[in-house]
Amino acid sequence: MDAVVKFTNQSQGRDRIFRATQYACALSIYLLRNNSERKELVAKLKQLETNMSSGRKLLRLGNAAHSIMAAKQTMQFSDRVLCLCLTVANFNRALYFVCDNLLWARSVGLLRAIDKERWSLNASRCYFYSLAMNLVRDAYVVLQLMVKKRKDEEFKQKMRRHVGESPDVAEAVIPELDAFVFLLLETLRSNPAVALDTLKNICDLFIPLDRLGIYRTNAGVVGFCGLISSLLGIVTLACPALKLKP
């Protein structure tokens, strides 16, 4: 119970619960859209989805400043690839929150001259760029871990057992693709924080891709991917050891 209270007391925790509820509603609406007996339930789910979206926008006020501070910190990284990827990702995330805050101000009537469609697309573009750079970071970290894993003697023995060949002929017999897939899977299995972050970013990527028309799916796919990424976000927030750092 203490863990639940601690989690819900965090603004990020509340946001992720709201987000999971929002996308669960979106997925349910898509699955029930053709069920004439569930029209009343669908209407309630749509209202709940709208409320969750509005609540999240309110919770995100001020997050732009947080992302700018994060970008300043990542600019100090000695690893140039991580520095570039995370700084660009945080900067675009800050721009996304600015667009999101303007859309919230328009929805409550504080601003009238805001083109909702235009700023919504701008927000999706910034969100897409941020996720793309985070995925580049994930790929870079995975490749580094794969190189390190390949040099490990224990892993070499495991690979030989996987192929079922003697040590002196194993490398000649293993197809390159099979060796790469085995190395990748073992690396991700040994580093759950990297695996979860990569999966979360891949799931999130479908949301702006659909919104921008780059890769059209449907509301069901968007709802499912959003729900999975939200649940992964809850897991990583509840268990800090599963959060990828930096």
Q: Do residues 119 and 211 touch, judged by C-beta distance below 8 A?
A: no
In a domain, 75, yes or no: no
Helix (H, G, I), strand (E, B) or coil at 93: helix
Residue with tokens 């949301």: 207
What span, in angstroms and rounded, lies between the C-alpha atoms of 243 and 237?
7
Supply the pTM of this predicted model: 0.89
Neighbours of 208 (CB within 10 A): 23
Q: Do residues 195 and 224 touch, judged by C-beta distance below 8 A?
A: no
Angle among Cα 122, 128, 130 to the nearest 5 degrees reads 105
In a domain, 122, yes or no: no
**What pLDDT does residue 1 have?**
53
In a domain, 106, yes or no: no
In a domain, 155, yes or no: no
Q: How many domains does the chain have?
A: 1
Q: Do residues 226 and 203 touch, judged by C-beta distance below 8 A?
A: yes
Residue ranges making up the domain that contains 6: 1-60+216-245
Residue with tokens 């990527």: 205
CB neighbour list of residue 29: distance below 8 Å, 6 or more residues apart: 42, 45, 46, 49, 219, 223
What span, in angstroms and rounded, lies between the C-alpha atoms of 202 and 76?
27
In a domain, 164, yes or no: no
What span, in angstroms and rounded, lies between the C-alpha atoms of 48 and 68?
31
Per-position pLDDT tens, the chain of length 246: 555 555 555 778 889 999 999 999 999 999 999 998 899 999 999 999 999 998 898 888 889 999 999 999 999 999 999 999 999 999 999 999 999 999 989 888 888 888 889 999 999 999 999 999 999 999 999 999 999 998 887 777 777 776 655 444 444 444 677 788 889 999 999 999 999 999 999 999 999 999 999 999 999 999 999 999 999 999 999 999 999 987
Q: How is residue 44 written in tokens?
A: 């309630």
What span, in angstroms and rounded, lies between the C-alpha atoms of 242 and 12?
16
**What pLDDT does residue 173 have?**
44
In a domain, 113, yes or no: no
In a domain, 147, yes or no: no
In a domain, 16, yes or no: yes
Q: Angle, nearest 10°, between helix axes 219-238 and 11-32?
A: 150
CA distances for 155 relative to 52, 59, 113, 168, 208, angstroms: 46, 45, 61, 15, 38
Q: Do residues 198 and 213 touch, judged by C-beta distance below 8 A?
A: no
